Each structure stands twice: as C-alpha cells, then as structure tokens.
A and B are shown apart, each in its own frame.
Chain A
C-alpha cells in the first residue's frame, strides 16, 4: 500500500543526496582533469550514470564515495578513448590563484594545479582523494578498487613528487604543448592501451 510513496520518498532522498555531492564531484573532476569545462562534462556524465544506477546505491552509505567511483571510472574511460590530455586553462588557474586569502606566503595554486596534472593519473587521484577530499586511506582504497597499502604508496609518491616540483622548482613548463605532463599522460596511455591490446589479442 505504502509502496509507491515509499519509492518516491526514496527517489527524493536519492536526488537530494546526489544534489548535495555535485560540488564535490566538480572539485574531484577538476583536480583529475585540470580543465573546468571537461571536468563539468565529466560530472554531467557521472550524474547520468548515477541516476541510472540508483537502485544499486545503498541508503545510509556514503553518496560521495559511491559517486566518486562512478566519476573515476568515467574519467579513465574517457581518457583512454579520447586521449584527452592534461590540458590546462591558464586564465582560470590565474583566477584560482587569487582566491585563497590570508596566506602570508601565497601558495601558487596555479603551480600546484600544474604539478598535479603532471602526476600519473593513479597517483593524482589517490592524492586528491586523501589530501584534498579528506577520505581515509581505507575509503580511498575502496573507491579506487585497490589495496590500502597501494593507496598509501601512491599518496606517498605523489606527495614526494609534488614537494620536489614545488619546493625545488622543477615544475614542468607552462607551455600547453610538449609539457612533461602531457608526455607523461600520453606515455601512460600508451602503456594502458598496450596492455589492453595484449589482453585482447591473446
């Protein structure tokens, strides 16, 4: 008897929770792919997929973690398909740069963003989840579908790489073409593609 209204209650609840995590999805996506327009496309895609899969969401669990898994998978798929590079919107980065107030020694967020983009995708996402998103190592491991130790090691390597770039000034060039970031990503994609071809060919 109460079934239909229960369903619509659940649906409303799902929509509410999903709406609440959109800003976080945008932040995670922006960190992953660097470009705001691509990031928002990714979020739209995530919302579509999450909506279609809403029966699989267990109420009471973390909507943020659940949707981050979807976003991450969509990102990896798009990356393989489009070879979409760690391109980087300079004007936006400058704008972000002015945003945080009250820092004596301003951290150049534009540089940070650029350094982030030069990391291999798996380290970047691990660092974003733990260092920016505030997830525990355990939660991040669940989101990425890997062992906790793997996440710890990725975060550690990512931190070391960022420290080296930001503190020793070995940041990749600003030029959108032929940056270290771009190369690293393409190389990584080639490896992924090669592994897939191997798997498919055998």
Chain B
C-alpha cells in the first residue's frame, strides 16, 4: 500500500529546483530575449558587409598614382 504511493503527479514537485524568487521583476523569458540578440551578434559575419564597406571606402578612381 505504502509502496503504491508513487509519484503519479510527477510534474507537481513543488519548490523542487531553485524556485526562490530572487528577482521577481524578471520574467522567465527575459534571458531568452538577450540570448536571441546575442545569438545573432555572435554569428559569423557574412563577407557581404565588409565587401560593402570596402567598396564605399575605396576612392572612386581619383587615386593619383
């Protein structure tokens, strides 16, 4: 009988893992927003951007030589 007391309600483990509300103002997804942004920041930069800047930086055929 006692052995039947299995954890049928597995999902309802209360206060199981770090649920101390340290920063209540910050919703769960707040870090995700940052992660979303940072994941793009850390992507390797396609060459097209530097190509564009190099082209812009190149004086238009007025290079006296």
**A interface with B by C-beta (< 8 Å):** 11, 15, 18-19, 22-24, 26-28, 30-31, 40, 43-44, 47-48, 51, 96, 99-100, 103-105, 107-109, 112-113, 116, 127-128, 131-134, 159, 162-163, 166-167
Contacts and interface: CB of A to CB of B under 8 A. Distances in A.
Interface residues of B, number: 27
Per DSSP, chain A at the interface is helix
A11 to B, nearest CB: 7
A107 B27 CA distance: 11
A109 B52 contact: no
Nearest to A99: B39
B10 interface: no
Interface in B1-38: 17, 27-38
A136 B54 CA distance: 32
A100 B36 CA distance: 9
Contact of A23 (B30, B31, B42, B48): B42
Contacts of A27: 36-38, 40-41
Contacts of A109: 32, 35-36, 39
Contacts of B28: 105, 107, 166-167
Interface in B30-65: 30-43, 45-46, 48-50, 52-53, 56-57
Interface of B: 17, 27-43, 45-46, 48-50, 52-53, 56-57
27 contacts: A19-B49, A19-B53, A23-B40, A23-B41, A23-B42, A26-B41, A27-B37, A27-B38, A27-B41, A28-B37, A31-B36, A31-B40, A44-B48, A44-B49, A48-B56, A112-B29, A112-B32, A113-B36, A116-B33, A127-B33, A128-B33, A132-B34, A134-B34, A162-B29, A163-B27, A166-B27, A166-B29
A44 B52 contact: yes
Identify the interface centre among A28, A107, A167: most chain B CB within 10 Å of its CB. A107
Contacts of A167: 27-28
